[in-house]
Structure 1
Amino acid sequence: MSVQAVNDVNFIAEVQKNETTLVEFGTVWCPPCKVLLPILDEMSDEYGERVAILKVDCEESPVTAGGYGVMSMPTVIVFHKGEPVEKLVGLRPKSVYENVLAKYTAGSY
């Protein structure tokens, strides 16, 4: 598994495919985003099919980024059953993302 890039066109469809989805909003030139992506790649491998991990380039998909109030990068939003449930602004340790996902993936092993 790896982090899948999505955009304004396919964002909603992709978020609704899984019960739990983590979405990173960033850009290619954002230094903290560059640090976060390998962490998310690793998490994608660990969670496999249980959690979709997506990324949105805010410059390429301004409608989606604006629609979720993304003002700083990276912003990570966790969606559960297609609805946003958690929003983390700024780079956090991997454990923070894991703890948030644990709230929505318990029993889904």
Structure 2
Amino acid sequence: MANIAAVTDAEFETQVLKSDKPVLVDFWAEWCGPCRQVQPILDELATAHGDKITFLKMNVDENPVTPSSYRVTGIPTLNVYQGGEVVKSIVGARPKAALLNELADYIA
């Protein structure tokens, strides 16, 4: 989880909702196996496409307010925010090719 910074409930509005470029937030938890599976893929995508889309992660156990307000009920959930709104939501682990396809509008 080296490449992706963490965001907290307190920082969410300034770092995500008010960002001038799209932001992908990975809602995850330490105990979540699929979250650990998707993490290296997200690290690769952040390294390759971090200039076009910001990658952040939020631990749902440590920050319950934001996931609850966006009705995040399953993890990993990857939400893409643009202009203060959720423009894409990906629930569950996906292989790299599927994530690239899902995020094509934001990383092209």
What is the TM-score of this pair, normalised by structure 2? 0.89
**CA deviation vs aligned residue, 1:83-105 (integer Å, no higher than 9, x gap):** 10111111111222222222134
**CA deviation vs aligned residue, 1:17-60 (integer Å, no higher than 9, x gap):** 24211111010111111111111111110012211001110011
Number of corresponding residues: 106
1:44-63 alignment, distance < 5 Å? 44-63=46-65
* Most deviating of 61-70 and 73-82: 73-82
Instruction: Give the fraction of aligned pairs with identical amino acids, expressed as a percent.
Output: 40
Partner letter of residue 12 of structure 1? E
CA distance in 2, matches of 1:4, 1:76: 14
Unaligned stretches of 5+ in structure 1?
Answer: none
Match of 2:45 in 1: 43
| Secondary structure at 2:51 match in 1 | helix
Partner letter of residue 4 of structure 2? V
Match of 2:5 in 1: 4
Unaligned stretches of 5+ in structure 2?
Answer: none
Q: In the alignment, which of 75, 96, 99 is matched to residue 98 of structure 2?
A: 96
* Most deviating of 15-24 and 36-45: 15-24
Equivalent pair of 1:80/1:104 in contact (CA under 8 Å): no
Equivalent pair of 1:24/1:54 in contact (CA under 8 Å): yes
Equivalent pair of 2:49/2:107 in contact (CA under 8 Å): no
Equivalent pair of 1:25/1:57 in contact (CA under 8 Å): yes
* Most deviating of 95-104 and 38-47: 95-104
Q: CA RMSD in A?
A: 1.5
What is the TM-score of this pair, normalised by structure 1? 0.88
Q: Which runs of 4+ in 1 moved over 2 A?
A: none
Match of 1:13 in 2: 14
